[in-house]
A = this chain, B = another copy of it.
């Protein structure tokens, strides 16, 4: 569709669902954009993908979720920042990243079994096995939780990878400055028991 066509640097773009799914699944949070009565707003939240569907949850009285559940246009963007890219010139400094922009309209998940499955999938995504190592939501907790679903059918990925672009001139290439890539690595630290 036209709005997923990549205008800038289309060589970085990708509509392959395998590529898109891998980015969506690796990221712990997404940023959800929609138009509120006050104008455009972007809210960060956790998410999980199951098949073609992205699930987002929160309190049953969460303003974003209840607004999105009315079926308004939404945009969910997911970004993984992989590295800093240093060039000899400020102009060619960049970052390596993998991002997904998904457009769609959400619906509320009202089926309790599907709701539970999506919440268990989120827990499993964060830590495989964990959905069997905590108590899953009871009917009261399910009722207090709103889950919305959005199909990932109108999505595109954009990826930059690799070293800085080549210097524009021999003079730039001869500059005595360091150029290269500095990876950004996210790890889980030591567990702190409650």
Q: Name A29's closest neighbour in chain B (CB-CB).
A: B81
- List which A42-58 residues lie within 8 A (CB) of chain B: 42-44, 46
Q: Contacts A39-B73, A75-B33, A194-B164 known; A44 to B126 CB distance under 8 Å?
A: no
Q: Is the Cβ of B181 less than 8 Å from the Cβ of A91?
A: no
Chain A interface (Cβ within 8 Å of chain B)?
Answer: 2-3, 7-8, 28-29, 31-36, 38-44, 46, 59, 61-63, 73-77, 79, 81, 84, 86-91, 93, 95, 97, 99, 101, 103, 119-120, 123, 126-127, 130-131, 133-137, 141, 144-145, 163-164, 172, 175, 177-194
Contact A40 B46, beta carbon cutoff 8 Å: no
Cα distance A89–B145 when bound, in Å?
A: 14
User: Which 3 A-B pairs give the minimum distances between C-beta atoms?
Assistant: A183-B189, A3-B38, A33-B42
For A3, what are the chain B residues with a Cβ–Cβ distance below 8 Å?
36, 38-39, 41
With A186-B184, A191-B182 as contacts: A101 and B41 at CB distance below 8 Å? yes
Give the contacting residue for A40; candidates B2, B74, B177; CB below 8 A.
Answer: B74
- Complex-state Cα separation, A63 to B10, whole angstroms: 13
With beta carbons under 8 angstroms apart, the residue of B36, B44, B131, B186 that contacts A77 is B44
Nearest CB on B from A123, distance (A): 6
Partner of A63, one of B8, B43, B59, B181: B8
